[in-house]
Amino acid sequence: MARPFSTPEHREEIRRTIRSAAAELYGHDGLSGVSVRRVAQKAGVSVGAIYAHFDDLAGLMQSLWMGQVERQNSRFVERTSGCEDPLMRLRILLDDYLKFGIENAELYRNAFLFVRPGGHPKPVAAGLETQVFSRLMMAALREGQAQGRVIAGEPALLAQVLWSGLHGCLVLPSNLDRLAFAPPADVAQQMTEALMRSISANGR
């Protein structure tokens, strides 16, 4: 009997089934309880099907939450388009990033605190310009430097400094919950102000 033709809809259905199985295992057992074999068994597919639809286990896990991250990236673009002031664009990006992380705390942890299991190959690192958020920051930093309003320095490194501050604001209280850190929402505005001062050529 001829093998049925695999349509895009059928492939997407298989992807959804695999993602659903991975999400259920992750929600029940955490990352340590997720393996390619267990996902395949729960989804009712072969191990090879996992690799056929996702590059590896890390790619599968990232796919669980990256759709929502991409929607936020679209909002970053929308919110900053038409704003001619590069420092205002930076402020919008910083504020919106923190708002996203605070309002979607579990999603943020999943998307940005993913730790690759030991033994899994490390992917080839991509430049910051490949990410919407950092690319928008770098463009605003370059423009601000051209206007003499942003300190000198490689835009990619300055963008990393800004991103690191935002990330720390969001995750430090949960990573070190044995210490009485204020919730991210209580310090978000001060973090934005501090980061903006750190890159301002005028220091304010």
Q: What is the tens place of the pLDDT at every residue in 61-90?
A: 777 777 778 889 999 999 999 999 999 999
For 8-63, the fitting CATH number among 3.40.640.10, 3.30.390.50, 1.10.8.100, 1.10.10.60 is 1.10.10.60
Pair of tokens at residue 170: 């969001």
Q: Which residues make beta-bridge pairs with 128?
A: none
Q: What is the CA radius of gyration of the chain?
A: 20
Q: Tokens representing 98? A: 């923190």
| Inter-residue contact 73 to 133 (CB < 8 Å) | yes
Quick check: 81 and 46 in contact, CB under 8 A?
no
**Average pLDDT of span 107-131:** 75
165 contacts 194 by C-beta, under 8 angstroms: yes
So where are the chain's domains?
8-63, 66-199
* Average pLDDT for the chain: 87
Higher pLDDT, 98 or 107: 98
Is the pTM of the predicted complex or chain greater than 0.85? no
Reading the block at residue 34, the tokens are 């997720």
Identify the pLDDT of residue 61.
Answer: 78
DSSP state, 183? Answer: P
pLDDT at 2 over 50: no
pLDDT of residue 118: 67
Query: Residues 172-180: what's their mean pLDDT?
Result: 89
Question: Which 8-state DSSP code applies to residue 150?
Answer: B
Selecting from 2.10.109.10, 1.10.357.10, 3.40.640.10, 2.40.10.170, what CATH number does the domain 66-199 have? 1.10.357.10
Phi, psi of 38 (to 5 degrees): -65, -40
Task: Name the band, by pLDDT with cuts 50, 70 and 90, for residue 1.
Answer: very low
Per cent of the chain over pLDDT 70 is 91
